[in-house]
Amino acid sequence: MSYETILVEQRGAVTLITLNRPKSLNALNSQVLEELIVAFGAYEADPSQRCAVLTGSGEKAFAAGADIKEMADKAATDFYTGDFFSRWTSHLVKTTRKPWIAAVNGFALGGGCELAMMADFIIASENAKFGQPEIKLGVAPGMGGSQRLTRAVGKAKAMDMCLTSRMMDAVEAERSGLVSRVVPLASLIDEAVAAAEAIAAMPPVATIANKEMVNAAFEMTLDQGLLFERRVFQILTATEDKAEGMAAFIEKRPGVWKGR
């Protein structure tokens, strides 16, 4: 499929997806969503691809939010009957079981911040700025900002950002647990792809299992989560990759994974 609003490139086992509407600071419209669904679906289905990186084109923005010009004339019934925004989470979070990293270059505002928070983790450039400024438009986060941001940075900072529309810079975002690493803008893609390559080199079954376990922490009680973790760990011990991983450690050589 040819895309108009995103760029997709494979670098070895890593799929690099770039939001490509730089003139509107990569604002997220319906076409971006449809193309991302196809691109993430292709990534998920391709066994040669082991990790993905999502970034924004240009140096200014990852994504400055949902496309305000597209939303401006929509009626409430359009948002409601079309269940606007629900497909972002269902496709990019729920059905994408393989890992992906958001490489945030510049503004990640509104839906842009929410899209980044759907990733398994965020690597930010030094000029990154995160915010949920929807209140200034007379609305509120609609794609997870009130929930995922609060879980990531806690009530005080999430409330501050949602109510005042204050942006968080990269240093504060790392200090607050929103991003895992901050790197210079010039090396952002290299660093994110290197992190993705590190993940791509891990045993495939254990990769999906680790992702599922960490995500379970947001859905389960501690007791349920600990049980889930233990059971999945126990199942992993039946894989050929477990036998290979332990043998490789003892024999002081790299493991060769079968994905089973």
Q: Is 9 a catalytic residue?
A: no
The CA-atom distances, in angstroms, between 130 and each of 178, 189, 205, 208 are 9, 18, 33, 28
CB contact at 8 A, 125 and 104 = yes
Minimum CB distance to ligand CO8 smaller for 37 or for 194: 37
Q: Is 154 a catalytic residue?
A: no
Sign (positive or negative) of CA dihedral 42, 46, 49, 50 = positive
65: region left, alpha or beta (phi > 0 left; psi from -120 to 50 alpha): left
DSSP state of 179: -
* Among candidate residues 133, 127, 128, the one with its CA nearest the CA of residue 145: 133
Residues in touch with ligand CO8 (CB under 6 A): 24-25, 27-28, 64-69, 85, 88, 107, 109-111, 114, 133-134, 137, 141-143
Q: Is 134 a catalytic residue?
A: yes
Minimum CB distance to ligand CO8 smaller for 111 or for 245: 111
Minimum CB distance to ligand CO8 smaller for 40 or for 88: 88
CB contact at 8 A, 174 and 121 = no
Smallest separation (angstroms) from ligand CO8 to the CB of 116: 12
Smallest separation (angstroms) from ligand CO8 to the CB of 231: 35
The catalytic position among 134, 174, 191, 229 is 134
Minimum CB distance to ligand CO8 smaller for 71 or for 123: 71
The catalytic position among 61, 63, 66, 192 is 66
The catalytic position among 114, 174, 191, 229 is 114
